[in-house]
């Protein structure tokens, strides 16, 4: 695997920004779509691998997809860091996340929202290992 992250973070760099920035970037893409400036082809670009992971490991949310309005969004957790795949490792459970966070200080975690109906995807937030351990639920 030599590709970059599987998911879309808009035009933002994948580090150094917080949840609010990702949310603003996401909302601005949704707005541009509703205004007709971005098509579904432009923004609903989840790769097959991300969709596969979302179907198998995605955690259901209460939120409906902002693009198709048909499907509930799922959240997928990825870990990035040295000696992990370049496209990140998808995490199956909270337990796996916490174990990795405890064992490795150099791993960053990304939460990605995915719609398996229309292929919308966007980064929701990222946090480092100590952030993962502080959270009651990540």
Verify binding: residue 72, Zn ion, rule CB under 5 A. no
Size of the site for Zn ion (CB under 5 A): 8
37 by Cβ neighbours in 10 Å (0-12 / 13-18 / 19+) ranks as: exposed
Query: Nearest CA to 67 among 95, 27, 106, 98?
Result: 27
Q: Residue 115 interacts with Zn ion (CB under 5 A)? A: yes
Q: For residues 72 and 81, which CB has a smaller minimum distance to Zn ion in the complex?
A: 72
Residue 22 Cβ, how far from Zn ion at the closest point, in Å? 18
Q: Which of 117, 128, 135, 138 binds Zn ion (CB under 5 A)?
A: 117
Q: Which residue has the tokens 């808009």?
A: 10
Q: Which of residues 12-71 bind Zn ion (CB under 5 A)?
A: 65, 67-68, 71
**End-to-end Cα separation, the chain, in angstroms:** 27
**Residue 103, both tokens:** 């064992």
Q: How far is CA 123 from CA 77, 99, 119, in A?
A: 10, 22, 13
Q: Residue 68 or residue 138: which is nearer to Zn ion going by CB? A: 68
Cβ at position 110, least distance to Zn ion in Å: 20
Interacting residue ranges for Zn ion, rule: CB under 5 A = 65, 67-68, 71, 115, 117-118, 120
């Amino acid at each position: 695997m030599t590709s970059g992250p599987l998911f879309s973070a808009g035009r933002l760099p994948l580090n150094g920004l917080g949840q609010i920035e990702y949310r603003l970037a996401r909302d601005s893409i949704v707005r541009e779509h509703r205004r007709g400036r971005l098509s579904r082809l432009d923004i609903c670009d989840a790769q097959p691998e991300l969709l596969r992971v979302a179907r198998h490991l995605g955690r259901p949310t209460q939120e409906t997809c902002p693009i198709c309005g048909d499907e509930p969004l799922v959240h997928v957790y990825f870990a990035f860091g040295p000696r992990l795949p370049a496209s990140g490792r998808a995490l199956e459970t909270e337990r796996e996340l916490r174990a990795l966070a405890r064992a490795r200080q150099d791993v960053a975690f990304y939460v990605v929202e995915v719609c398996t109906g229309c292929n919308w995807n966007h980064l929701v937030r990222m946090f480092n290992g100590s952030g993962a351990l502080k959270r009651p639920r990540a």
